[in-house]
């Protein structure tokens, strides 16, 4: 068991290093994207739906629709617009919260 734990810690250390590097890469990519799309007109006119060939494929500029998460706050706000009885809205939200599927997943937590 001790060897298994040592290997887990070693892999966890490696994952932390890679995750830190990946985070830095993603932040830099986001900065570059913001620079390219800083002027909405430029993105709309020059880059939108444009494909550029690169060494190992191509990249395409496009807009993607992203919906906000379906949160309880969102549900409560919008149910309140169609159901005028506030206690009914609260009852629905309470029911949804209490009847969510719960799954237990084994995990190991590391504390520094």
Q: Please write the tens of the pLDDT for every residue from 63-99.
A: 889 998 899 999 999 999 999 999 999 999 999 999 9
pLDDT at 39: 66
DSSP bridge pairs for 60: 51
pLDDT at 28: 97
Give the C-alpha separation, 97 to 74, whole Å.
13
Confidence of residue 41 (pLDDT cuts 50, 70, 90): low
User: Which residue reads 């719960």 in tokens?
Assistant: 102
Residue ranges with strand state E in the chain: 51-54, 57-60
pLDDT at 96: 95
The per-residue pLDDT of the chain, averaged, comes to 89
pLDDT at 45: 67
Helices (H), ranges, 37-109: 40-42, 72-82, 86-98
Report in angstroms the alpha-carbon separations of 73 from 68, 69, 81, 83, 89. Answer: 12, 10, 13, 15, 11
| Chain centroid to CA 94 | 26
DSSP bridge pairs for 52: 59
pLDDT at 33: 84
| Chain centroid to CA 110 | 23
Is residue 34 predicted with pLDDT exceeding 90? Answer: no
8 Å CB contact between 2 and 9: no
pLDDT at 112: 80
């Amino acid at each position: 068991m001790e060897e298994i734990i040592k290997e887990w810690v070693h892999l966890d250390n490696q994952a932390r290093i890679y995750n830190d590097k990946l985070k830095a890469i993603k932040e830099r990519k986001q900065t570059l994207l913001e620079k390219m799309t800083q002027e909405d007109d430029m993105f709309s006119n020059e880059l939108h739906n444009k494909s550029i060939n690169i060494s190992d494929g191509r990249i395409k500029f496009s807009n993607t629709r992203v919906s906000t998460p379906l949160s309880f706050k969102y549900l409560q706000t919008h149910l309140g617009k169609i159901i005028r009885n506030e206690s009914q809205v609260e009852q629905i939200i309470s029911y949804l919260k209490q009847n969510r599927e719960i799954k237990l997943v084994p995990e190991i937590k590391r504390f520094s």
